[in-house]
């Protein structure tokens, strides 16, 4: 019988979800759906000192916005709950106890000062990596070096202690990562990591392994920064007797800065003005604000498409994938080992493609929404006509308003360069003639405007090529933009006349 695929996304609620975390969630989701498996959201909140108010809700909302919907999780529930580690303490302690009883873990009573002194001693002895390990533990205060009576006495006296894993001296730990292939580590290079802290809470390592086991996780798909921890996790699976059901690992490549120079960082992103969080986030402690992809105007499907290709390739030229198509095409084998450049221009390109694929009706909804916040009313018909004109020219929906304010307001100013170059006597004479012609009409469609422009050109002998930009300047204040007949049709006869007059008085007649 084939085992059901079960994967998890296991963020810690320590702040806004980074875009790399979103990609991890997405790959887990795609893999689960492709295999008719389950995608689980588990909140890893055992480090209470790092807990940040609101981050749990943020994670849920971000996944929800991107349609990366968990099958099991803190909101969805499920058979393997609770899905929040702070509510699962007894599980971890039980297994920590088991490890102690089997001599695979031990109590350690060393104070912070004693630990510092140990590190200093090792540094002086020129030990490259001064850690608590299978050699140094023998000179420390723990249940391996103290007698049973001493240990009991300390416990009874309420002395703080931690539980450490007892890493074997020189053994090879191996794991076959689905992305990186075989990883071999000698236990001489693994330190006796803390499994249970002095506050009685498990560390990430213990909680992560115990939960992956109890939640029957079959594949651990996570960021490359966790690769160094993987051998320790393998050791824990062995120690707990869970080797047979140990999940397979897949460590995803790092996200790099757009120029490929170093890890993608929030600092760098802030400097260059692009987001690294899915949604707006204000850090509760510092009040520091970061803009999100959502608020910057990225469409969820475009962002998902962009993220999917950040570290994975379909092996074909295809770039546009709906989430359903991604579920079909995704494969762990095609995840790249090398870091993935976070090419923000590519993200914008995806957004453009998704905007182009929307109907005018869909686009008009964005515009109407935006106009509402400006207190401007607009008919459905007009909003759709504007969407039609601008759809090929925009990257973000809010540009329907931002680059099309002239559909609603007479220009307040004029592009100076264009005015200097194009607002010439010829243009003025032409526009006067054109305006007179319009005045004789009760309405003005784009088609009629076109006809009247040609007539004016014939009568004045002034070529249209010389005056069209001046007309655009008068109507929109800008030197470039969408089809001008379309603009005229939308703003209508009265506005055209009024704006030509306004340009005469502002730029000269
Ligand atoms: N809680 C870890 C994190 O915040 C999870 C790592 C893992 O997936 O094992 O990234």
In the set 84, 89, 154, 266, the catalytic residue is 266
Using the mean position of ligand 1's atoms as its centre, give its distance from the Cα of residue 196 in Å: 17
Largest distance between two CA atoms of the chain: 112
Using the mean position of ligand 1's atoms as its centre, give its distance from the Cα of residue 502 in Å: 62
Residue pointed to by tokens 């307001």:
409
11 lines ligand 1 (CB under 6 A): yes
CB 110 within 8 A of CB 118: yes
Q: In DSSP terms, which residues pair with 251 in a beta bridge?
A: 222
108: Cα within 13 Å, side-chain hemisphere = 24
Looking at residue 465, what is its pLDDT?
93
> For this structure, is 266 an active site residue?
yes
Which ligand 1 atom lies nearest to the CA of residue 9? 8
Q: What is the DSSP string of 65-127?
A: HTT---SBBTTTB-TT---BGGG-HHHHHHHHHHHHHTTSEEEE---HHHHHHHHHHHHHTT-
Q: Whose CA is nearest to atom 3 of ligand 1?
A: 11
Token reading at 486: 């379309």
Q: Which residues contact 245 (CB under 8 A, 6 or more apart)?
A: 213, 216
> Which H/E stretch holds residue 175?
strand 172-177
Global model pTM greater than 0.75: yes
Using the mean position of ligand 1's atoms as its centre, give its distance from the Cα of residue 221 in Å: 10
314: Cα within 13 Å, side-chain hemisphere = 17
C-alpha angle 14-17-21 in degrees, rounded to nearest 5? 115
pLDDT, averaged in runs of 10, over the chain (509 residues): 89 96 98 98 94 96 98 97 96 97 98 96 90 95 97 97 97 97 96 96 97 98 97 98 98 94 90 94 94 97 98 96 97 95 96 98 97 96 98 97 97 97 96 95 93 96 95 97 97 97 95
349 lines ligand 1 (CB under 6 A): no
Buried b (16+ CB within 10 A) or exposed e, 435-457: bebbeeeeebeeebbeebbeebb
CB 131 within 8 A of CB 165: no
Residues 406 and 418: their CA atoms lie apart, in Å, by: 17
Q: Whose CA is nearest to atom 5 of ligand 1?
A: 10
Looking at residue 39, what is its pLDDT?
98
Please name which of 399, 497, 491 lies closest in space to residue 452, comparing C-alpha atoms: 497
Residues 256 and 124: their CA atoms lie apart, in Å, by: 37
Residues 71 and 63: their CA atoms lie apart, in Å, by: 12
Looking at residue 129, what is its pLDDT?
86
Using the mean position of ligand 1's atoms as its centre, give its distance from the Cα of residue 11 in Å: 5
Residue pointed to by tokens 């890893």:
44
Residue pointed to by tokens 């012609």:
437
How many residues does the structure list for the chain?
509
Residues 26 and 36: their CA atoms lie apart, in Å, by: 15
How distant is the alpha carbon of residue 176 from its chain centre? 28
């Amino acid at each position: 019988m084939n085992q059901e695929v079960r994967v998890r996304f296991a963020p810690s609620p320590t702040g806004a979800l980074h875009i790399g975390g979103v990609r991890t969630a997405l790959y887990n989701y795609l893999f689960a759906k492709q295999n008719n498996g389950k995608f689980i959201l588990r909140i890893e909140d055992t480090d209470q000192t790092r807990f940040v108010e609101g981050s749990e809700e943020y994670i849920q909302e971000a996944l929800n916005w991107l349609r990366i919907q968990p099958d099991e999780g803190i909101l969805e529930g499920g058979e393997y709950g609770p899905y929040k580690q702070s509510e699962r303490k007894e599980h971890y302690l039980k297994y920590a106890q088991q490890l102690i009883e089997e001599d695979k873990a031990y109590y350690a009573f060393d104070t912070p000062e004693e630990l510092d002194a140990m590190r200093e001693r090792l540094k002086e002895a020129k030990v490259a990596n001064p850690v608590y390990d299978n050699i140094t533990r023998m000179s420390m205060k723990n249940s391996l070096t103290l007698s049973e009576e001493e240990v009991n006495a300390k416990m009874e006296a309420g002395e703080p202690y931690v539980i450490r894993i007892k890493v074997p001296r020189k053994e090879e730990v191996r794991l076959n990562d689905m992305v990186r292939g075989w990883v071999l580590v000698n236990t001489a290079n693994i330190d006796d990591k803390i499994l249970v802290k002095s506050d009685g809470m498990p560390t990430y390592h213990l909680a992560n392994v115990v939960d992956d086991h109890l939640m029957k996780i079959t594949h651990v798909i996570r960021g490359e920064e966790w690769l160094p921890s993987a051998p320790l996790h393998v050791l824990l699976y062995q120690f707990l007797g869970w080797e047979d059901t140990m999940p397979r690992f897949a460590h995803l490549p790092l996200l790099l800065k757009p120029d490929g120079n170093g890890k993608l960082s929030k600092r760098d992103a802030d400097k260059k003005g692009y987001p690294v969080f899915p949604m707006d986030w204000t850090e509760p402690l510092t009040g520091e604000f970061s803009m999100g992809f959502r608020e910057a105007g990225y469409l969820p499907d475009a962002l998902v498409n962009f993220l999917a290709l950040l570290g994975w390739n379909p092996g074909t030229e295809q770039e546009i994938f709906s989430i359903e198509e991604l579920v079909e095409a995704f494969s762990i084998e095609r995840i790249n080992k090398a870091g993935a450049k976070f090419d923000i221009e590519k993200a914008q390109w995806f957004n453009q493609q998704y905007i182009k694929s929307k109907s005018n009706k869909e686009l008009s909804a964005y515009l109407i929404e935006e106009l509402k916040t400006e207190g401007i009313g607009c008919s459905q018909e007009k909003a759709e006509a504007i969407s039609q004109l601008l759809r090929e020219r925009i990257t973000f929906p809010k540009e329907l308003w931002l680059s099309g304010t002239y559909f609603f307001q007479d220009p307040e100013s004029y592009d100076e360069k264009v005015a200097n170059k194009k607002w010439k006597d010829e243009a003025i004479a032409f526009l006067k003639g054109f305006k007179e012609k319009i005045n004789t009409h009760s309405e003005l469609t784009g088609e009629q405007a076109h006809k009247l422009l040609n007539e004016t050109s014939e009568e004045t002998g002034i070529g249209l090529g010389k005056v069209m930009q001046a007309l655009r300047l008068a109507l929109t204040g800008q030197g470039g933009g969408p089809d001008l007949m379309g603009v005229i049709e939308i703003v209508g006869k009265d506005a055209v006349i009024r704006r030509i007059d306004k340009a005469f008085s502002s730029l000269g007649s």
